[in-house]
Amino acid sequence: MASLTPETSLRLRRTPLLVFVFSYTLLTGGPFLWVATMSLRTTAEILANPYAPPTTLHWEKFYEAWVNSNYGTYFRNSAVTVVSAVIIITIIGAMAAHGLARYRFRGARAVRFAILSGMVLPPQLIILSLFQILLGYGLYNSLLGLTLVYVAAHLGMTVYILEGFFAQIPQDLFDAARMDSYGDLEIFWRITLPIGLPAIFTAITLNFIILWNEFLFAVVFLTDDEKRTLPLGIMHFMGSHQLDIGMVATGLMIAIAPILILYAVFSETMIRGMTAGAVR
């Protein structure tokens, strides 16, 4: 083989790479596009030809899902529960992380172990007894109960991420603050939080994504249709009788939409935040 110039050899090496990149993009973006097109077609159209683009755009399906199938309610329930849970987790998680990262006190190791061990527990371990307990607290079949369960379930991971980051903040800053007689909570407020913002953003993002899509706890702890969250709502169309593929696709799009919009707008900040907090 004749000797290759540096340019051609570079290009040659790149081709398999480009092929791979292209295929993988198809693999990740493709299914989503497919669902998007299906959400605008009726089930009959889909069954006739699953891969054709929509001929008429049935926007009314979205309306039908939102109003007739109660998607509006499910969306609201999801929004209320998840936003509240994320706010609470972030606040008390950041406080706990700061406490564990900054201060030495008796029992610190035990507390750290306790809170982080929550990460490792499989949900099945506690789901069976959680409903008994929720009932004891009078919180069964309520959004408040579900919110509290969400908070408890994700506290471990949040503290894990935040503590790791907060611990990296140089001690000098805090010593200097002490010298300037800042109160402890002021230190938290003015130093840890602003500097720790990328990691906090990471935690918020991760928690929001995971909780928005959470399914198991919601299915067991919510019984009223009025209280159902979105993931449960999607299952509504996968009824025992007809598999209404078109409406399922519409439902999927409604569920994905908020996250996608958030992501499209904030992707840069989100990714920067996520990586800053999680990279060790």
Residues 131-160 contacting other proteins, CB under 8 A? 131-133, 135, 140-144, 147-149, 151-153, 155-156, 159
Stretch that binds other proteins, among 1-9, 20-28, 56-64 (CB under 8 A): 20-28
> What minimum distance in Å lies between the beta carbon of 22 and other proteins?
10
Which of 36, 79, 95, 193 touches other proteins by CB under 8 A?
Answer: 95
Q: Given candidates 59, 128, 265, 269, which one binds other proteins under the rule CB under 8 A?
A: 128
Dist CA 130 CA 100 (whole Å) = 27
Place of tokens 């958030």: 262
Q: Select from 36, 79, 92, 193 the one that contacts other proteins (CB under 8 A).
A: 92
CA distances from 255 to 161, 184, 248, 279 (A): 27, 42, 10, 30
**Helix, coil or strand: residue 238:** strand
* Span near other proteins by CB under 8 A; candidates 1-9, 53-61, 186-194: 186-194
- Among 36, 79, 193, 278, the residue binding other proteins under the rule CB under 8 A is 278
Select from 30, 26, 59, 27 the least CA-distant residue to 246: 59
3-state secondary structure of 38: helix
The end-to-end CA distance of the chain, in Å, is 46
The yes or no reply on residue 212 touching other proteins (CB under 8 A) is yes
Distance from C-alpha of 68 to C-alpha of 97, rounded to nearest angstrom: 45
- Decide if residue 60 touches other proteins (CB under 8 A): no
Angstrom distances, CA of residue 132 to CA of 154, 184, 214, 232, 244: 20, 39, 20, 22, 36
Smallest distance, other proteins to C-beta of residue 191, A: 11
Q: Does position 59 bind other proteins by CB under 8 A?
A: no
Of positions 12, 19, 260, 265, contacts other proteins by CB under 8 A: 260
| Residue 27 binds to other proteins (criterion: CB under 8 A) | yes
The length of the chain, given as a count of residues:
280
Q: Which of 52, 125, 265, 269 binds other proteins (CB under 8 A)?
A: 125
The answer to whether 8 contacts other proteins (rule: CB under 8 A) is: no
Q: Does 201 bind other proteins (CB under 8 A)?
A: no
With CA atoms as reference, report the closest residue to 272 among 170, 190, 200, 211.
200
Question: In 3-state terms, what secondary structure has residue 229?
Answer: coil
User: DSSP per residue over 153-173, as a string?
Assistant: HHHHHHHHHHHHHHHHS-HHH
Contact set for other proteins, span 105-124 (CB under 8 A): 105, 111-124
79 binds other proteins (CB under 8 A): no
Among 62, 64, 79, 213, binds other proteins (CB under 8 A): 213
Q: How many CB atoms lie within 10 A of CB 173?
A: 13
Question: Shortest Cβ distance from residue 144 to other proteins (Å)?
Answer: 4
54 vs 198 by CB, closer to other proteins: 198
- Which one, of 104, 97, 82, lies nearest residue 200 by Cα? 97
Q: Which of 19, 57, 243, 265 binds other proteins (CB under 8 A)?
A: 243
